[in-house]
Amino acid sequence: MDVLDEELKEFQLKLEAILKEFLEQGRVEVYGNLRIIVTSFDKIACLKGNTIYVNIKMQTYPDFVLRYIIAHKLVHLFPEWVDLISGLITIGRVLEDVLRVRVEHPGTYIGHVNLYLLELEDGKLLVDTGFRQTAEELVRSLRDVLRGSRLREVVLTHIHNDHTGGVRDLRAAFTPEIMMHQQEIDVIGFMRGVVERGGDQLRTLGLDERLRRDVLDFFRFNLQHLSVDYEPLRGGEEFASVAGKWRVVPTPGHTPGHVTLYDGERRVLISGDHLLPNETSNVSYYPVEGYDALRSYLRSLVLTESLGPELVLPAHGEPFRNVKERIDYLLAHHRRRLMEAMAGAGRGSDLVGVARSISWSRGHFDMLGPIDRWLAVLETLAHLQFLINEGFVEARLEGEKVLFAATGRDGSELDRILHKIRGER
Ligand SMILES: [Zn+2]
Ligand SMILES: [Zn+2]
């Protein structure tokens, strides 16, 4: 038996022990042929009859996640076990017209996502929809909360799967209008194009075959739930609630069509991923005509500051108030990252080389998981694009490869430029 088989066997035994423990709790009379099989399927875990198929990739998951996933699957066989996974969604009031719907997602770096349910004058509006894996629970919880009132609209702050994963299930259950900014709808078209052409564009970004395959898989996975009809937002739309008025404020940068909702009277911002209390939002390059992701992000921060929110309801983490401090921190963070990217480019480096020279909050570039590595590459490119536009870095083609190199323009000039962006409003 080789090493891999040993590991597999150990993993299988671990899963069986969890299953046995659940069964020994005595609430199920028939054991029957209930079993777990480790597979290499794409799905993390699925259920067919009395067999739970668990993906081999889950070997690296912490025990509590395995327990959660197995319990989750068992609930379909034994509905009375629903309390095993209860607590996945907690709903609490944060304002007279706003409920916070916190959806746990163990096993992901981000851990949970906050959705916000607004009480409009004529129904309810939900901001974001959580992961696809938690969509069924979300529908169940919302049915309890809605109690006869209608979910009229769903506003998606942006395209990421922790915000859009529940869209299909929600639409099937409540038929709300699904709204997303036009620029974000265009990104779906871009993803579709990349998948249809087998990821050629990713090769020109300098991604190796493996990373390219992972990204394509990720796009394919997301396109499954993103393929619905959207009502496009352009910014400025208003939703009157029972206690105020929420206006759509585009805040591009995290993604090209990211939006927030702002109540100027009460100075409350529902910030999506634009502004988070503990995380620095990823700022990703997108091949959208005229789009400079980092410049957009910095401008969106300055815009947010000028709106003067006193309370921020973020998509991840707890509501917070120290907005100005947080924005100062983020501006300094990106200044630092620009300097690192400039130094990383040095006399000539490819994209991944520059990405390796940046200090990532989740660890060294080579140690990141495939999706984090993809986000890090896109964030590096966003910083390089800004530096190129300002004349600090140039890109040149050497053979088949794009190399980035510092032009020698003095880095201290950067402060003047960042200052100017801050003073633009
Ligand atoms: Zn996001
Ligand atoms: Zn998010």
Residues 297 and 167 in one domain: yes
DSSP 285: -
Q: For residue range 295-332, list pLDDT tens digits in order.
A: 999 999 999 999 999 999 999 999 999 999 999 999 99
Q: For residue 114, give the CATH number of its domain.
A: 3.60.15.10
Q: For residue 358, give the CATH number of its domain.
A: 1.10.10.10
Q: Which of these three, 57, 84, 111, is where a domain ends?
A: 84
Q: How far apart are CA 298 and CA 78, in angstroms?
A: 50
Alpha-carbon dihedral 7, 8, 13, 18, rounded to 10 degrees: 100
Residues 315 and 415 in one domain: no
CA 78 to centroid of ligand 2, rounded, Å: 32
Residues 56 and 95 in one domain: no
Q: Which of these three, 37, 64, 84, is where a domain ends?
A: 84
Alpha-carbon dihedral 240, 242, 245, 247, rounded to 10 degrees: -60
Residues 256 and 200 in one domain: yes
Q: Which of these three, 328, 360, 385, is where a domain ends?
A: 328
CA 13 to centroid of ligand 1, rounded, Å: 36
pLDDT over 60 (residue 2): no
Pairing of β 45-48 and β 238-240: unpaired
Residues 306 and 184 in one domain: yes
Name the percent of the chain lying above pLDDT 70.
93
Q: Which residues pair with 89 in a beta bridge?
A: 103
Query: 179 by DSSP, 3-state: which?
Result: strand
Q: Where are the alpha helices (DSSP H) in 78-166?
A: 135-146, 161-164
pLDDT of 3: 54
Residues whose CB falls within 8 Å of the CB of residue 144, separated by 6 or more in sequence, listed in order: none
**How many independent structural domains does the chain possess?**
3
Helix 413-423 with 323-345: angle, nearest 10 deg: 150
CA 29 to centroid of ligand 2, rounded, Å: 41
CA 370 to centroid of ligand 1, rounded, Å: 16
Pairing of β 151-155 and β 123-127: parallel
Q: How far apart are CA 117 and CA 107, in angstroms?
A: 25
The encoded tokens of residue 168 equal 């299909």
CA 112 to centroid of ligand 2, rounded, Å: 9
User: Which residue is it, tokens 């969106």?
Assistant: 300
The encoded tokens of residue 412 equal 């201290």
Residues 242 and 139 in one domain: yes
Global pTM reads 0.82
Q: Alpha carbon 283 to chain centroid distance?
A: 12
Residues 134 and 274 in one domain: yes
Residues 11 and 115 in one domain: no
CA 210 to centroid of ligand 2, rounded, Å: 25
Structural domain containing residue 394: 333-423
Q: For residue range 128-147, list pLDDT tens digits in order.
A: 999 887 888 899 899 999 98
CA 160 to centroid of ligand 1, rounded, Å: 5
Is 27 in contact with 81 (CB distance < 8 Å)? yes
Q: For residue range 90-135, list pLDDT tens digits in order.
A: 999 999 999 999 998 765 667 799 999 999 999 999 999 998 878 8
Residues 299 and 404 in one domain: no
pLDDT over 70 (residue 396): yes
The amino acid that residue 330 corresponds to is: L
Residues 205 and 287 in one domain: yes
